[in-house]
Amino acid sequence: MLSVQILVDQVSILETMSPLDFMQFRDYLTPASGFQSLQFRLMENKLGLKSEHRVRYNQHYSNVFHSNSEHLVALELSEQEPSLLNLVEKWLERTPGLEKDGFDFWTKYQRGVQQMLDKRKDSALVRTDPYKFKLNFHTDCCTAKWRHNHVLMVQRMIGSQHLGTGGTSGYQYLRSTLSDRYKIFLDLFNVSSFLLPKQYIPVLSGTLKSQLSATPHHPRNREHADSKKNCVKHLNGNL
C-alpha cells in the first residue's frame, strides 16, 4: 500500500520539470518504458487485474518480456497464483447466511428492496463504510491516481501525438488504462448500489449475529480475549 502511495507522490517531482527539460531527461530512459516495467505488471497481476481486461496494443502485454525467460516465468506464475482479489472473493463467499437452506439472506434482501420501492423512497443510503476493505479501496484509488497523474504528465510533457518509449501510442494508450476495466476491486466500489435504508435491511437471526460477531461472545474470540487477559496478568506480575 505504501509503495503505491510513494509512486503517486513521485509524479509531483517530475512535474516540476519544464517540457523541454523533460524531453532531454526522457532520452536517458530510452528504450525503457513503463509498458516494459516487470514490477508494475507483477503488482497488477498480484492485485487481480485479469489479462482479458487489459488494453491490447497489437500484442499481449507479456510479449515485451520474451527476451528474458526469468521475467516471463515470473509473469506467468503471477497470473496463475491466487491474487488478492481471488482471496477476498473466496473469503466473502464464506459469509454465513448466504445459503438458501440457512438464513437465505438474498430472499430477505429482495423483499426489503421491494418494500423500499413500494414506499417510493426518493433516495437510498449512498455512503460507503469501508470496514475491512478500506485498504483494498485505497490501493485501487492510489493506483488510479497514479495512472491519472501519469497521463496528465505525459500529455503536458510530450503531447498527445508522440509515441511512448515502449513503442505504444503514448498518451492515447495511457488514457485507455483509466477505465473501470483497470479497477481491481470494482465490485466493492459498486456495493453501495445495494445499500438500503435501515428500516428495510433484513433483521439478522441470533445465530447469524453470533457467527458474524467480532465480540468476545463468539467462542473463537472468547479464546483470544482469555489469552489476552492471561498475557496482561503475566506482565503485571513481572512489573
CATH number for position 23: 1.20.58.480
Cell output for 221? 474470540
Across the chain, which has 239 residues, the per-10-residue mean pLDDT values are 76 80 73 76 91 79 85 92 93 81 81 77 43 75 87 83 61 85 85 82 84 58 50 46
Which positions ≥6 away from 62 have C-beta within 8 Å?
A: 41, 72, 75, 76
237 part of a folded domain: no
226 part of a folded domain: no
Cell output for 64? 515485451
Q: Are 40 and 54 in contact (CB under 8 A)?
A: no
221 part of a folded domain: no
- Give me the pLDDT at residue 151, please: 87
- Give me the pLDDT at residue 230, please: 52
* Cis status of the peptide bond prior to 216, with omega within 30 of 0: no
Domain span at 67: 2-113+133-200
233 part of a folded domain: no
As for how many domains the chain has, the answer is 1
CA nearest neighbour of 14 among 151, 161, 160 = 151
187 part of a folded domain: yes
225 part of a folded domain: no
Measured distance CA(63)–CA(16) in Å, rounded: 34
- Give me the pLDDT at residue 123, please: 46
Measured distance CA(223)–CA(216) in Å, rounded: 8
68 part of a folded domain: yes
179 part of a folded domain: yes
Q: Are 119 and 196 in contact (CB under 8 A)?
A: no
Determine the number of helices (DSSP H) and then strands (DSSP E) in the chain: 11, 0
User: Cα-atom radius of gyration of the chain, to the nearest Å?
Assistant: 24
